[in-house]
Chains A and B, each alone.
Chain A
Amino acid sequence: MNIMALFNALPGACAQGLIWGIMAIGVFITYWILDLADLTVDGTMCTGGAVCIMMMLSGYNVWVSLLAAFLAGMLAGLVTGLLHTAFGIPAILAGILSQLGLYSINLRIMDNKANQAISVDKYSLLVSLRYIKGVPFYRNTLLIALLIIALLIGLLYWFFGTELGCSIRATGSNPNMSRAQGINTDLTKIVGLMLSNGIVAFASGLYAQYQGFADINAGRGAIVIGLAAVIIGQVVFGRIHGNFAFKLLSVAMGGVIYYLVLQVVLWLGLNANDLKLISAMIVAIFLAIPYLKGKHFSKPVKKGGANRA
Protein backbone atom coordinates (compact mmCIF):
# COMPACT_ATOMS: atom_id res chain seq x y z
CA MET A 1 0.00 0.00 0.00
CA ASN A 2 1.57 3.16 -1.22
CA ILE A 3 0.58 6.19 0.82
CA MET A 4 1.52 8.49 -2.07
CA ALA A 5 -1.05 6.77 -4.26
CA LEU A 6 -3.67 7.68 -1.71
CA PHE A 7 -2.51 11.29 -1.52
CA ASN A 8 -2.54 11.61 -5.26
CA ALA A 9 -6.10 10.35 -5.37
CA LEU A 10 -7.43 12.73 -2.74
CA PRO A 11 -7.95 15.86 -4.87
CA GLY A 12 -9.96 13.83 -7.36
CA ALA A 13 -11.99 12.32 -4.53
CA CYS A 14 -12.66 15.83 -3.20
CA ALA A 15 -13.87 16.97 -6.61
CA GLN A 16 -16.22 14.02 -6.95
CA GLY A 17 -17.36 14.57 -3.38
CA LEU A 18 -18.17 18.22 -4.10
CA ILE A 19 -20.22 17.31 -7.18
CA TRP A 20 -22.07 14.62 -5.24
CA GLY A 21 -22.43 17.18 -2.47
CA ILE A 22 -24.49 19.29 -4.87
CA MET A 23 -26.58 16.21 -5.58
CA ALA A 24 -26.94 15.65 -1.83
CA ILE A 25 -28.27 19.19 -1.39
CA GLY A 26 -31.04 18.17 -3.78
CA VAL A 27 -31.74 15.08 -1.68
CA PHE A 28 -31.68 17.22 1.47
CA ILE A 29 -34.61 19.26 0.12
CA THR A 30 -36.89 16.26 -0.14
CA TYR A 31 -35.55 14.07 2.64
CA TRP A 32 -34.95 16.67 5.32
CA ILE A 33 -37.09 19.68 4.44
CA LEU A 34 -40.12 17.99 2.88
CA ASP A 35 -39.82 14.76 4.89
CA LEU A 36 -40.25 12.69 1.71
CA ALA A 37 -38.02 9.86 0.51
CA ASP A 38 -37.79 10.53 -3.22
CA LEU A 39 -36.28 7.74 -5.30
CA THR A 40 -36.70 9.66 -8.56
CA VAL A 41 -33.14 10.88 -8.08
CA ASP A 42 -31.71 7.51 -9.14
CA GLY A 43 -33.17 8.36 -12.54
CA THR A 44 -32.44 12.07 -12.62
CA MET A 45 -28.82 11.50 -11.59
CA CYS A 46 -28.49 9.93 -15.06
CA THR A 47 -30.92 12.18 -16.96
CA GLY A 48 -29.01 15.37 -16.22
CA GLY A 49 -25.76 13.97 -17.56
CA ALA A 50 -27.46 12.50 -20.61
CA VAL A 51 -29.15 15.79 -21.49
CA CYS A 52 -26.04 17.85 -20.81
CA ILE A 53 -23.64 15.67 -22.82
CA MET A 54 -26.01 15.21 -25.78
CA MET A 55 -26.65 18.94 -25.97
CA MET A 56 -22.95 19.73 -25.80
CA LEU A 57 -22.26 17.13 -28.48
CA SER A 58 -24.77 18.93 -30.70
CA GLY A 59 -22.91 22.16 -30.18
CA TYR A 60 -24.66 23.90 -27.31
CA ASN A 61 -22.76 25.95 -24.78
CA VAL A 62 -22.02 24.26 -21.46
CA TRP A 63 -24.23 26.61 -19.46
CA VAL A 64 -27.19 26.17 -21.79
CA SER A 65 -26.69 22.43 -21.55
CA LEU A 66 -26.58 22.53 -17.75
CA LEU A 67 -29.72 24.66 -17.69
CA ALA A 68 -31.43 22.09 -19.92
CA ALA A 69 -30.28 19.34 -17.52
CA PHE A 70 -31.76 21.30 -14.61
CA LEU A 71 -35.07 21.73 -16.43
CA ALA A 72 -35.18 18.04 -17.38
CA GLY A 73 -34.72 17.17 -13.71
CA MET A 74 -37.52 19.53 -12.74
CA LEU A 75 -39.79 17.83 -15.25
CA ALA A 76 -39.03 14.43 -13.68
CA GLY A 77 -39.78 15.91 -10.25
CA LEU A 78 -43.06 17.26 -11.59
CA VAL A 79 -44.10 13.79 -12.75
CA THR A 80 -43.30 12.24 -9.37
CA GLY A 81 -45.07 15.10 -7.63
CA LEU A 82 -48.22 14.65 -9.69
CA LEU A 83 -48.20 10.88 -9.23
CA HIS A 84 -47.96 11.45 -5.49
CA THR A 85 -50.36 14.35 -4.97
CA ALA A 86 -52.89 14.22 -7.80
CA PHE A 87 -53.08 10.43 -7.96
CA GLY A 88 -52.46 9.55 -4.34
CA ILE A 89 -49.56 7.15 -4.96
CA PRO A 90 -47.27 6.87 -1.92
CA ALA A 91 -44.18 9.03 -2.42
CA ILE A 92 -41.71 6.14 -2.40
CA LEU A 93 -43.67 4.25 -5.04
CA ALA A 94 -44.20 7.37 -7.14
CA GLY A 95 -40.43 7.90 -7.13
CA ILE A 96 -39.76 4.29 -8.10
CA LEU A 97 -42.21 4.57 -11.02
CA SER A 98 -40.54 7.75 -12.30
CA GLN A 99 -37.13 6.22 -11.84
CA LEU A 100 -38.07 3.15 -13.86
CA GLY A 101 -39.68 5.22 -16.59
CA LEU A 102 -36.63 7.44 -16.73
CA TYR A 103 -34.43 4.47 -17.57
CA SER A 104 -36.08 4.18 -20.97
CA ILE A 105 -36.16 7.94 -21.44
CA ASN A 106 -32.48 8.26 -20.52
CA LEU A 107 -31.59 5.63 -23.12
CA ARG A 108 -33.56 7.55 -25.75
CA ILE A 109 -31.83 10.78 -24.81
CA MET A 110 -28.48 9.00 -25.28
CA ASP A 111 -29.48 7.70 -28.73
CA ASN A 112 -30.07 4.20 -27.37
CA LYS A 113 -26.47 3.85 -26.27
CA ALA A 114 -25.53 2.96 -22.71
CA ASN A 115 -22.67 5.40 -22.83
CA GLN A 116 -21.94 8.70 -24.56
CA ALA A 117 -18.43 10.09 -24.32
CA ILE A 118 -17.37 13.72 -24.61
CA SER A 119 -13.78 14.68 -25.26
CA VAL A 120 -12.26 17.17 -22.87
CA ASP A 121 -9.91 18.25 -25.65
CA LYS A 122 -12.60 19.07 -28.18
CA TYR A 123 -15.26 20.59 -25.95
CA SER A 124 -14.96 23.31 -23.38
CA LEU A 125 -16.11 21.52 -20.26
CA LEU A 126 -16.75 23.29 -16.99
CA VAL A 127 -15.31 20.50 -14.85
CA SER A 128 -13.20 17.47 -15.62
CA LEU A 129 -10.94 14.98 -13.88
CA ARG A 130 -8.26 16.43 -16.17
CA TYR A 131 -8.75 19.85 -14.57
CA ILE A 132 -7.58 18.85 -11.13
CA LYS A 133 -3.88 19.44 -11.60
CA GLY A 134 -1.82 21.40 -14.06
CA VAL A 135 -4.47 23.94 -15.03
CA PRO A 136 -4.69 27.63 -14.10
CA PHE A 137 -6.41 27.89 -10.71
CA TYR A 138 -9.51 29.53 -12.14
CA ARG A 139 -10.09 26.45 -14.32
CA ASN A 140 -9.53 24.07 -11.46
CA THR A 141 -12.51 21.79 -10.97
CA LEU A 142 -12.22 21.98 -7.18
CA LEU A 143 -12.56 25.76 -7.27
CA ILE A 144 -15.40 25.72 -9.81
CA ALA A 145 -17.32 23.12 -7.82
CA LEU A 146 -16.83 25.14 -4.63
CA LEU A 147 -18.04 28.31 -6.34
CA ILE A 148 -21.12 26.54 -7.68
CA ILE A 149 -21.88 25.20 -4.20
CA ALA A 150 -21.50 28.66 -2.69
CA LEU A 151 -23.83 30.13 -5.31
CA LEU A 152 -26.35 27.32 -4.86
CA ILE A 153 -26.36 27.70 -1.08
CA GLY A 154 -26.87 31.45 -1.46
CA LEU A 155 -29.81 30.93 -3.80
CA LEU A 156 -31.42 28.27 -1.62
CA TYR A 157 -30.90 30.36 1.51
CA TRP A 158 -32.78 33.17 -0.15
CA PHE A 159 -35.49 30.89 -1.57
CA PHE A 160 -36.29 29.09 1.67
CA GLY A 161 -36.66 32.47 3.34
CA THR A 162 -39.38 33.55 0.92
CA GLU A 163 -43.10 33.02 1.48
CA LEU A 164 -43.10 30.07 -0.92
CA GLY A 165 -39.94 28.60 0.60
CA CYS A 166 -41.33 28.94 4.13
CA SER A 167 -44.52 27.20 3.09
CA ILE A 168 -42.47 24.29 1.72
CA ARG A 169 -40.62 24.02 5.03
CA ALA A 170 -43.90 24.17 6.93
CA THR A 171 -45.33 21.39 4.74
CA GLY A 172 -42.43 19.12 5.66
CA SER A 173 -42.66 20.02 9.31
CA ASN A 174 -46.43 19.69 9.78
CA PRO A 175 -48.71 19.18 6.76
CA ASN A 176 -51.94 19.42 8.78
CA MET A 177 -50.95 22.72 10.30
CA SER A 178 -49.86 23.92 6.87
CA ARG A 179 -53.27 23.27 5.35
CA ALA A 180 -54.94 24.91 8.34
CA GLN A 181 -52.78 27.96 7.57
CA GLY A 182 -53.96 27.96 3.98
CA ILE A 183 -50.96 26.31 2.36
CA ASN A 184 -51.69 24.11 -0.65
CA THR A 185 -49.53 21.21 0.47
CA ASP A 186 -49.91 19.40 -2.86
CA LEU A 187 -48.39 22.38 -4.60
CA THR A 188 -45.55 22.84 -2.12
CA LYS A 189 -44.64 19.15 -2.37
CA ILE A 190 -44.56 19.39 -6.17
CA VAL A 191 -42.40 22.52 -6.10
CA GLY A 192 -40.03 20.88 -3.61
CA LEU A 193 -39.73 17.72 -5.70
CA MET A 194 -39.10 19.77 -8.85
CA LEU A 195 -36.42 21.87 -7.20
CA SER A 196 -34.74 18.83 -5.70
CA ASN A 197 -34.64 16.87 -8.94
CA GLY A 198 -33.54 19.94 -10.88
CA ILE A 199 -30.52 20.28 -8.60
CA VAL A 200 -29.77 16.55 -8.81
CA ALA A 201 -29.91 16.66 -12.62
CA PHE A 202 -27.64 19.71 -12.61
CA ALA A 203 -25.14 17.77 -10.47
CA SER A 204 -25.52 14.88 -12.89
CA GLY A 205 -24.62 17.19 -15.76
CA LEU A 206 -21.47 18.21 -13.90
CA TYR A 207 -20.61 14.63 -13.01
CA ALA A 208 -20.90 13.45 -16.61
CA GLN A 209 -18.52 16.22 -17.67
CA TYR A 210 -16.18 15.35 -14.86
CA GLN A 211 -16.01 11.73 -15.93
CA GLY A 212 -16.02 12.54 -19.63
CA PHE A 213 -19.13 10.53 -20.42
CA ALA A 214 -22.81 10.11 -19.65
CA ASP A 215 -23.67 6.63 -18.46
CA ILE A 216 -27.01 4.86 -18.20
CA ASN A 217 -25.99 3.47 -14.81
CA ALA A 218 -24.76 6.79 -13.44
CA GLY A 219 -27.70 7.10 -11.08
CA ARG A 220 -27.84 3.60 -9.70
CA GLY A 221 -27.90 3.87 -5.94
CA ALA A 222 -27.63 7.66 -6.11
CA ILE A 223 -30.25 8.09 -3.39
CA VAL A 224 -28.07 6.11 -1.01
CA ILE A 225 -25.01 8.25 -1.71
CA GLY A 226 -27.12 11.40 -1.35
CA LEU A 227 -28.57 10.21 1.94
CA ALA A 228 -25.12 9.20 3.13
CA ALA A 229 -23.87 12.73 2.48
CA VAL A 230 -26.87 14.28 4.24
CA ILE A 231 -26.49 12.02 7.24
CA ILE A 232 -22.70 12.30 7.47
CA GLY A 233 -23.06 16.09 7.25
CA GLN A 234 -25.59 16.07 10.08
CA VAL A 235 -23.52 13.75 12.25
CA VAL A 236 -20.19 15.51 11.72
CA PHE A 237 -21.36 19.11 11.74
CA GLY A 238 -24.82 18.82 13.27
CA ARG A 239 -23.67 19.45 16.82
CA ILE A 240 -22.44 22.88 15.94
CA HIS A 241 -25.21 25.43 16.13
CA GLY A 242 -25.75 26.69 12.66
CA ASN A 243 -28.24 28.37 10.43
CA PHE A 244 -29.79 27.02 7.26
CA ALA A 245 -26.88 27.98 5.01
CA PHE A 246 -24.51 26.13 7.30
CA LYS A 247 -26.73 23.07 7.18
CA LEU A 248 -26.57 23.08 3.38
CA LEU A 249 -22.80 23.47 3.52
CA SER A 250 -22.51 20.56 5.92
CA VAL A 251 -24.50 18.42 3.50
CA ALA A 252 -22.10 19.28 0.69
CA MET A 253 -19.15 18.54 2.97
CA GLY A 254 -20.84 15.26 3.84
CA GLY A 255 -20.44 14.37 0.16
CA VAL A 256 -16.73 15.16 0.31
CA ILE A 257 -16.23 13.09 3.45
CA TYR A 258 -18.10 10.22 1.83
CA TYR A 259 -15.76 10.23 -1.17
CA LEU A 260 -12.67 10.58 0.97
CA VAL A 261 -13.71 7.59 3.07
CA LEU A 262 -14.43 5.69 -0.11
CA GLN A 263 -11.00 6.51 -1.45
CA VAL A 264 -9.37 5.19 1.69
CA VAL A 265 -11.45 2.04 1.53
CA LEU A 266 -10.37 1.52 -2.07
CA TRP A 267 -6.79 2.19 -1.15
CA LEU A 268 -7.03 -0.46 1.54
CA GLY A 269 -7.61 -2.88 -1.29
CA LEU A 270 -11.35 -3.33 -1.43
CA ASN A 271 -12.93 -3.99 -4.79
CA ALA A 272 -14.76 -1.08 -6.44
CA ASN A 273 -17.73 -3.39 -6.92
CA ASP A 274 -18.06 -3.75 -3.17
CA LEU A 275 -18.64 -0.03 -2.80
CA LYS A 276 -22.40 -0.25 -3.13
CA LEU A 277 -22.57 -2.73 -0.29
CA ILE A 278 -20.33 -0.55 1.85
CA SER A 279 -22.41 2.55 1.03
CA ALA A 280 -25.63 0.76 1.92
CA MET A 281 -24.14 -0.40 5.19
CA ILE A 282 -22.86 3.07 6.10
CA VAL A 283 -26.28 4.63 5.46
CA ALA A 284 -28.10 1.85 7.29
CA ILE A 285 -25.86 2.31 10.33
CA PHE A 286 -26.23 6.09 10.38
CA LEU A 287 -30.00 5.86 9.95
CA ALA A 288 -30.20 3.30 12.74
CA ILE A 289 -28.12 5.26 15.27
CA PRO A 290 -30.67 7.99 16.08
CA TYR A 291 -33.43 5.37 16.34
CA LEU A 292 -31.51 3.07 18.61
CA LYS A 293 -30.27 5.97 20.70
CA GLY A 294 -33.85 7.16 21.11
CA LYS A 295 -35.07 3.69 21.95
CA HIS A 296 -32.52 3.06 24.62
CA PHE A 297 -31.83 6.47 26.08
CA SER A 298 -34.82 8.73 25.62
CA LYS A 299 -37.96 9.28 23.62
CA PRO A 300 -37.27 9.57 19.91
CA VAL A 301 -37.62 13.21 18.99
CA LYS A 302 -37.86 14.23 15.40
CA LYS A 303 -36.73 17.52 13.92
CA GLY A 304 -36.41 19.51 17.08
CA GLY A 305 -39.21 17.53 18.65
CA ALA A 306 -41.46 18.65 21.39
CA ASN A 307 -41.97 18.95 25.10
CA ARG A 308 -45.29 18.65 26.73
CA ALA A 309 -46.52 20.92 29.46
Chain B
Amino acid sequence: MLDINRISKTFNRGTVNEKRALSGLDLHLAEGDFVTVIGGNGAGKSTMLNAIAGTWFVDEGSLLIDGTDVTRLPEHRRAAYLGRVFQDPMTGTAASMQIEENLALAARRGKHRNLRKGITSKEREAYREQLKILELGLEDRLTTGVGLLSGGQRQALTLLMATLQKPKLLLLDEHTAALDPKTAAKVLEATDKIVGRDNLTTIMITHNMKDAIHHGNRLVMMHEGHIIYDVSGEEKRKLTVSDLLHKFEEASGGEFANDRMMLA
Protein backbone atom coordinates (compact mmCIF):
# COMPACT_ATOMS: atom_id res chain seq x y z
CA MET B 1 0.00 0.00 0.00
CA LEU B 2 2.90 2.34 0.78
CA ASP B 3 6.41 2.22 -0.65
CA ILE B 4 8.96 4.67 0.68
CA ASN B 5 12.09 4.16 -1.41
CA ARG B 6 15.26 5.53 0.13
CA ILE B 7 14.05 9.09 0.66
CA SER B 8 16.23 11.87 2.04
CA LYS B 9 15.50 15.40 3.14
CA THR B 10 17.86 18.10 4.32
CA PHE B 11 16.51 21.32 5.80
CA ASN B 12 18.31 24.68 5.52
CA ARG B 13 20.96 23.26 3.23
CA GLY B 14 24.16 25.30 3.13
CA THR B 15 23.46 27.22 6.34
CA VAL B 16 24.63 26.73 9.90
CA ASN B 17 21.20 25.25 10.58
CA GLU B 18 21.61 22.52 7.99
CA LYS B 19 19.83 19.41 9.21
CA ARG B 20 19.58 16.09 7.45
CA ALA B 21 16.22 15.04 8.88
CA LEU B 22 15.66 11.98 6.67
CA SER B 23 18.53 9.92 5.32
CA GLY B 24 17.83 7.03 3.02
CA LEU B 25 14.58 6.11 4.74
CA ASP B 26 13.02 2.92 3.43
CA LEU B 27 9.63 1.57 4.49
CA HIS B 28 7.10 -0.71 2.82
CA LEU B 29 3.61 -1.32 4.15
CA ALA B 30 1.20 -4.00 3.03
CA GLU B 31 -2.52 -3.32 2.87
CA GLY B 32 -4.02 -3.33 6.37
CA ASP B 33 -0.71 -2.89 8.15
CA PHE B 34 -0.96 -0.89 11.36
CA VAL B 35 2.54 0.22 12.21
CA THR B 36 3.53 2.14 15.32
CA VAL B 37 6.58 4.40 15.13
CA ILE B 38 8.84 5.30 18.04
CA GLY B 39 12.11 7.19 18.27
CA GLY B 40 13.79 9.98 20.15
CA ASN B 41 13.06 13.66 19.84
CA GLY B 42 14.20 14.85 16.43
CA ALA B 43 14.59 11.33 15.03
CA GLY B 44 12.59 12.40 11.96
CA LYS B 45 9.24 10.78 12.72
CA SER B 46 7.10 13.81 11.94
CA THR B 47 9.32 14.60 8.99
CA MET B 48 8.58 11.14 7.56
CA LEU B 49 4.82 11.79 7.76
CA ASN B 50 5.27 15.23 6.20
CA ALA B 51 7.25 13.64 3.37
CA ILE B 52 4.42 11.18 2.75
CA ALA B 53 1.80 13.94 2.92
CA GLY B 54 3.75 16.22 0.59
CA THR B 55 4.19 19.22 2.89
CA TRP B 56 7.35 19.69 0.76
CA PHE B 57 9.11 17.48 -1.78
CA VAL B 58 11.88 15.06 -0.79
CA ASP B 59 15.44 15.61 -2.08
CA GLU B 60 16.01 11.99 -3.09
CA GLY B 61 14.07 8.78 -3.40
CA SER B 62 10.46 8.11 -4.32
CA LEU B 63 7.08 7.59 -2.69
CA LEU B 64 4.35 5.29 -3.97
CA ILE B 65 0.86 5.02 -2.52
CA ASP B 66 -1.00 1.93 -3.69
CA GLY B 67 1.31 1.78 -6.70
CA THR B 68 0.83 5.42 -7.72
CA ASP B 69 4.00 7.52 -7.75
CA VAL B 70 3.19 10.61 -5.66
CA THR B 71 6.75 11.91 -5.25
CA ARG B 72 5.99 15.07 -7.24
CA LEU B 73 2.31 15.43 -6.39
CA PRO B 74 1.43 18.61 -4.42
CA GLU B 75 0.03 18.27 -0.91
CA HIS B 76 -3.61 19.01 -1.74
CA ARG B 77 -3.63 16.37 -4.50
CA ARG B 78 -2.03 13.72 -2.30
CA ALA B 79 -4.70 14.40 0.29
CA ALA B 80 -7.04 12.30 -1.82
CA TYR B 81 -5.18 9.21 -0.56
CA LEU B 82 -4.47 10.28 2.99
CA GLY B 83 -6.14 10.85 6.32
CA ARG B 84 -4.11 12.83 8.83
CA VAL B 85 -4.29 13.64 12.52
CA PHE B 86 -1.65 15.94 13.98
CA GLN B 87 -0.10 16.27 17.41
CA ASP B 88 -1.55 19.73 18.01
CA PRO B 89 -5.35 19.47 18.37
CA MET B 90 -5.69 22.94 16.80
CA THR B 91 -4.08 21.84 13.55
CA GLY B 92 -6.62 19.41 12.16
CA THR B 93 -9.84 21.41 12.17
CA ALA B 94 -11.14 24.81 11.08
CA ALA B 95 -11.95 26.59 14.36
CA SER B 96 -14.26 29.20 12.88
CA MET B 97 -16.48 26.60 11.22
CA GLN B 98 -19.12 24.27 12.61
CA ILE B 99 -18.67 20.57 13.37
CA GLU B 100 -20.83 19.56 10.41
CA GLU B 101 -19.05 22.01 8.10
CA ASN B 102 -15.70 20.52 9.06
CA LEU B 103 -17.02 17.04 8.35
CA ALA B 104 -18.43 18.19 5.02
CA LEU B 105 -15.02 19.57 4.05
CA ALA B 106 -13.46 16.22 4.90
CA ALA B 107 -16.14 14.29 3.01
CA ARG B 108 -15.04 16.12 -0.15
CA ARG B 109 -11.36 15.33 0.19
CA GLY B 110 -9.99 14.40 -3.22
CA LYS B 111 -13.14 15.50 -5.01
CA HIS B 112 -13.66 18.48 -7.23
CA ARG B 113 -15.25 21.37 -5.34
CA ASN B 114 -17.65 23.56 -7.30
CA LEU B 115 -20.88 25.48 -6.75
CA ARG B 116 -22.89 22.58 -5.37
CA LYS B 117 -24.11 22.87 -1.78
CA GLY B 118 -21.31 22.74 0.76
CA ILE B 119 -23.39 20.41 2.93
CA THR B 120 -26.68 18.62 2.24
CA SER B 121 -29.34 17.54 4.71
CA LYS B 122 -28.69 13.92 3.79
CA GLU B 123 -25.08 14.33 4.82
CA ARG B 124 -26.13 15.83 8.15
CA GLU B 125 -27.97 12.67 9.07
CA ALA B 126 -24.98 10.54 8.09
CA TYR B 127 -22.64 12.68 10.21
CA ARG B 128 -24.95 12.40 13.19
CA GLU B 129 -24.62 8.62 12.94
CA GLN B 130 -20.87 8.64 12.42
CA LEU B 131 -20.18 10.99 15.33
CA LYS B 132 -21.69 8.41 17.68
CA ILE B 133 -18.64 6.17 17.35
CA LEU B 134 -16.62 8.80 19.23
CA GLU B 135 -18.94 8.54 22.26
CA LEU B 136 -18.49 12.23 23.06
CA GLY B 137 -22.04 13.41 22.46
CA LEU B 138 -20.95 15.48 19.48
CA GLU B 139 -23.80 13.98 17.42
CA ASP B 140 -26.15 16.40 19.19
CA ARG B 141 -23.94 19.42 18.52
CA LEU B 142 -23.60 19.41 14.75
CA THR B 143 -23.77 23.19 14.42
CA THR B 144 -21.43 23.98 17.31
CA GLY B 145 -18.35 25.95 16.31
CA VAL B 146 -15.27 23.75 16.48
CA GLY B 147 -13.40 26.55 18.27
CA LEU B 148 -15.62 25.89 21.30
CA LEU B 149 -14.57 22.23 21.60
CA SER B 150 -11.89 20.90 23.94
CA GLY B 151 -8.59 19.61 22.56
CA GLY B 152 -9.71 16.01 23.01
CA GLN B 153 -13.00 16.61 21.24
CA ARG B 154 -11.22 18.34 18.39
CA GLN B 155 -8.71 15.53 18.09
CA ALA B 156 -11.49 12.93 18.01
CA LEU B 157 -13.29 14.98 15.38
CA THR B 158 -10.10 15.23 13.32
CA LEU B 159 -9.78 11.45 13.51
CA LEU B 160 -13.31 11.04 12.22
CA MET B 161 -12.64 13.57 9.46
CA ALA B 162 -9.50 11.72 8.43
CA THR B 163 -11.42 8.48 8.06
CA LEU B 164 -14.80 9.73 6.86
CA GLN B 165 -13.76 8.81 3.36
CA LYS B 166 -11.71 5.65 3.61
CA PRO B 167 -8.10 6.81 3.08
CA LYS B 168 -5.52 4.52 1.52
CA LEU B 169 -3.26 5.50 4.37
CA LEU B 170 -3.97 6.96 7.81
CA LEU B 171 -1.19 9.11 9.30
CA LEU B 172 -1.30 9.75 13.05
CA ASP B 173 1.41 11.98 14.53
CA GLU B 174 1.41 11.61 18.33
CA HIS B 175 -2.26 12.44 18.10
CA THR B 176 -2.92 11.80 21.79
CA ALA B 177 0.23 13.39 23.20
CA ALA B 178 -1.35 16.75 23.96
CA LEU B 179 -4.36 15.25 25.75
CA ASP B 180 -4.90 14.33 29.37
CA PRO B 181 -4.51 10.58 30.02
CA LYS B 182 -8.23 9.85 30.17
CA THR B 183 -9.05 11.68 26.96
CA ALA B 184 -5.97 10.20 25.30
CA ALA B 185 -7.20 6.70 26.12
CA LYS B 186 -10.60 7.50 24.68
CA VAL B 187 -9.19 8.87 21.42
CA LEU B 188 -6.88 5.88 21.14
CA GLU B 189 -9.82 3.55 21.66
CA ALA B 190 -11.74 5.31 18.89
CA THR B 191 -8.66 5.00 16.70
CA ASP B 192 -8.51 1.21 17.21
CA LYS B 193 -12.23 0.91 16.55
CA ILE B 194 -12.14 2.83 13.26
CA VAL B 195 -8.89 1.31 12.00
CA GLY B 196 -10.22 -2.18 12.77
CA ARG B 197 -13.63 -1.53 11.24
CA ASP B 198 -12.25 -0.25 7.93
CA ASN B 199 -9.04 -2.29 7.93
CA LEU B 200 -7.06 0.91 7.39
CA THR B 201 -3.38 0.91 6.57
CA THR B 202 -2.06 3.09 9.38
CA ILE B 203 1.14 4.74 10.60
CA MET B 204 0.90 5.88 14.21
CA ILE B 205 3.73 7.82 15.83
CA THR B 206 3.76 7.67 19.60
CA HIS B 207 6.18 8.43 22.39
CA ASN B 208 4.40 6.01 24.66
CA MET B 209 6.19 2.68 24.30
CA LYS B 210 3.37 0.72 25.87
CA ASP B 211 0.97 2.11 23.30
CA ALA B 212 3.48 1.29 20.57
CA ILE B 213 3.61 -2.31 21.73
CA HIS B 214 -0.11 -2.78 22.35
CA HIS B 215 -1.41 -1.27 19.14
CA GLY B 216 -0.90 -2.39 15.58
CA ASN B 217 0.75 -5.41 14.01
CA ARG B 218 4.15 -3.86 13.39
CA LEU B 219 6.57 -1.54 15.17
CA VAL B 220 9.46 0.49 13.79
CA MET B 221 12.04 2.54 15.63
CA MET B 222 13.60 5.58 13.99
CA HIS B 223 16.95 7.17 14.67
CA GLU B 224 18.73 9.93 12.79
CA GLY B 225 16.34 9.94 9.88
CA HIS B 226 15.98 6.27 9.15
CA ILE B 227 14.61 3.06 10.54
CA ILE B 228 16.89 1.12 12.86
CA TYR B 229 14.50 -1.55 14.11
CA ASP B 230 11.47 -3.16 12.53
CA VAL B 231 9.43 -5.94 14.12
CA SER B 232 6.06 -7.49 13.43
CA GLY B 233 3.86 -10.47 14.22
CA GLU B 234 4.75 -12.78 17.05
CA GLU B 235 8.05 -11.04 17.78
CA LYS B 236 6.29 -7.70 18.27
CA ARG B 237 3.66 -9.20 20.52
CA LYS B 238 6.35 -10.50 22.84
CA LEU B 239 8.14 -7.13 23.11
CA THR B 240 8.46 -5.40 26.45
CA VAL B 241 9.22 -1.78 27.24
CA SER B 242 12.63 -2.74 28.56
CA ASP B 243 13.40 -4.56 25.30
CA LEU B 244 12.70 -1.31 23.48
CA LEU B 245 14.78 0.78 25.88
CA HIS B 246 17.59 -1.64 25.37
CA LYS B 247 17.31 -1.30 21.60
CA PHE B 248 17.40 2.44 21.95
CA GLU B 249 20.53 2.47 23.99
CA GLU B 250 22.18 0.08 21.60
CA ALA B 251 21.39 2.36 18.68
CA SER B 252 22.41 5.57 20.31
CA GLY B 253 25.34 4.60 22.46
CA GLY B 254 23.50 5.47 25.66
CA GLU B 255 22.61 9.01 24.70
CA PHE B 256 18.95 8.33 25.25
CA ALA B 257 19.43 8.14 28.99
CA ASN B 258 18.01 11.64 29.35
CA ASP B 259 15.54 11.47 26.53
CA ARG B 260 11.86 11.80 27.20
CA MET B 261 11.46 8.30 25.73
CA MET B 262 12.69 7.06 29.08
CA LEU B 263 9.67 8.52 30.77
CA ALA B 264 7.22 6.45 28.81
Contacts and interface: CB of A to CB of B under 8 A. Distances in A.
Interface in A69-91: none
Interface in A224-283: none
Given A161-B118, A174-B91, A308-B178, A183 B113 contact: yes
B122 to A, nearest CB: 15
A309 B76 contact: no
Interface stretch (B57-65, B103-111, B124-132, B190-198): B103-111
B94 A174 contact: yes
B114 A163 contact: yes
A211 interface: no
Contacts of B104: 166
A191 to B, nearest CB: 11
B37 to A, nearest CB: 19
B118 A163 contact: yes
Interface in A143-175: 159, 161-167, 169-170, 172-174
Given A162-B115, A307-B150, A309-B152, A182 B92 contact: no
Contacts of B116: 162-163
A158 B110 CA distance: 23
B216 interface: no
Contact of A303 (B84, B96, B151, B153): B96
A182 B80 CA distance: 6
A169 B115 contact: no
Contacts of A176: 91
A166 B147 CA distance: 16
B150 A173 contact: no
Contacts of A308: 89, 150-151, 178
Given A174-B95, A309-B180, A182 B117 contact: no
Contact of B79 (A162, A164, A180): A180
A59 interface: no
A305 interface: yes
B223 interface: no
A308 B180 CA distance: 10
B231 interface: no
A182 B76 contact: yes
A163 B117 contact: yes
A294 to B, nearest CB: 15
A173 B91 CA distance: 10
A295 B180 CA distance: 27
Interface string B248-264: 00000000000000000
Contacts of B161: 181
A181 B79 contact: yes
B148 interface: yes
A133 interface: no
A190 to B, nearest CB: 14
A170 B105 contact: yes
A153 to B, nearest CB: 17
A184 B96 contact: no
A170 B97 contact: yes
B77 interface: yes
Interface residues of A, number: 31
A163 B113 contact: yes
Given A179-B79, A309-B153, A169 B96 contact: yes
A181 B109 contact: yes
Given A182-B80, A182-B109, A162 B114 contact: yes
Interface string B45-70: 00000000100000000000000000
Contacts of A174: 91, 93-95
A165 B108 CA distance: 13
Contact of B95 (A167, A180, A181, A303): A303
B136 to A, nearest CB: 11
A298 B163 CA distance: 35
A298 to B, nearest CB: 14
Interface string A275-309: 00000000000000000000000000101111111
Contacts of B146: 304
B261 to A, nearest CB: 24
Given A182-B76, A182-B77, A173 B95 contact: yes
A178 interface: yes
Nearest to A303: B96
A182 B108 contact: yes
A1 to B, nearest CB: 45
A303 B95 CA distance: 7
B148 A304 contact: yes
B187 to A, nearest CB: 10
A185 interface: yes
Interface in B131-151: 145-151
Contacts of A172: 96
A177 interface: yes
B95 A164 contact: no
11 contacts: A162-B117, A164-B113, A166-B97, A166-B104, A172-B96, A174-B95, A178-B105, A182-B108, A304-B148, A306-B95, A309-B153
Instruction: Report, nearest first, the 9 A-B pairs whose CB atoms are least far apart.
Output: A304-B147, A182-B79, A166-B118, A309-B151, A309-B152, A173-B94, A163-B113, A309-B150, A182-B109
